[in-house]
Structure 1
Amino acid sequence: KDAGRIAGLEVLRIINEPTAAALAYGLEKKDGKTIAVYDLGGGTFDISVLEIGDGVFEVKSTNGDTFLGGEDFDMRLVEYLAAEFKKEQGIDLKADKL
């Protein structure tokens, strides 16, 4: 909040990235839905569960884990995708340094 005030902004509420993404996703939605939005970047895994309908957003739950997400998750995903590609195409992407 202090950074916002210093920048001359009136900060009403601070929200995490998954909640912000859910808000952006649901701005035009009219039908009621319950959605889960997750963020695996920045070294954490964050998730928010929201109910969206008629322009109203209700955060039902939000949580994070500082031991999931980030580089460790990225590397596991790259390893998995490279292995799947090799299995299907017979080409080892990890051997190509480009």
Structure 2
Amino acid sequence: MQTVSFKIVRTSNGDSWVEAHDKISPVKNTVVTVSAYFNDLQRQATKDTGQIAGLNVLRVVSKPTAAAFAYDLQKTNDKIIAVYDLDGGTFDIFIQF
């Protein structure tokens, strides 16, 4: 697996595109992360906002869930992963088996 940093660049018409390896491409499909305390209405509003911006929002996931998934991408051992999230003044924990 290769890690690539992406830069968001603005095109002449104001759209946001992704730049990587000196190439740019429009952003079409997205996964949006939100705070763990977001309720269903807030998550739907986030998804609706992305769609208004012309994005196909595939998933809305909490930040601790996204962190656990990202950590687990390169791991092959069976482990229990605990991700602590102190965002927004709350203390949330995500445990992945």
TM-score range normalised by the length of the shorter chain? 0.3 to 0.5
Structure with the higher strand share, 1 or 2:
2
TM-score, structure 2 length as denominator? 0.46
Of the two, which has the highest radius of gyration? 1
Q: Relative to total residues, which structure has the larger helix share, 1 or 2?
A: 1
The normalised TM-score by structure 1 is: 0.46
